[in-house]
Amino acid sequence: MNSNLILQPAMALALFTLTVLLLILMKRIRAAVNKQVKIDDFKYGESDTVPVWVCLPNRNFMNLLEVPILFYVVSIFIFITQHVDMLFVYLAWAYVVLRIIHSAIHLGYNNVVHRALIFGLSNAVLVIMWLRIAFISYV
């Protein structure tokens, strides 16, 4: 099996994360052009005067940098230990798809229950990946 297959989902999630970063810039520029924010509104992050539609992509970006770091680490660990198989690849893609759905909900209609369900499922996939590589590597 091609070991690089486990890196493709990680690259896809990284590219998606960079897309959300671009969305932050676009929203901030739009708000500045419309005079809804001032440069000082971002001096220490985002002030209370920044509209929610401008803050939301930044919060989503932070979400994409928090728990997913464990996904990147486990993907590299699977690659380095040469335990890449189709189950790991499917789990990795499932994680990426769930995180993209989570972001779509968050940046779209933002239903907290739906978002939490997808977030929980993505975390379950991540736990399965970690438990499986731990079992394979140490048993």
Parts of the chain with a pLDDT under 50: none
| Cα atoms found within 13 Å of the Cα of residue 63, Cβ hemisphere only | 23
**At the topology level of CATH, where does 3-138 sit?**
Four Helix Bundle (Hemerythrin (Met), subunit A) (1.20.120)
Is this structure's pTM higher than 0.75? yes
Residue 98, pLDDT score: 98
Report pLDDT for 53.
92
What's the confidence (pLDDT) of residue 45? 73
pLDDT of 27-51, one tens digit each? 999 998 998 898 888 877 777 888 9
- What pLDDT does residue 138 have? 85
Q: By the 8 A CB rule, do 105 and 59 touch? A: no
Angle between helices 68-80 and 7-33 (to 10 degrees): 150
Written as six digits, the tokens of 29 are 């520029």
> For residue 30, how far is the Cα from the chain centroid?
24
- Residue 39 carries which DSSP code? G
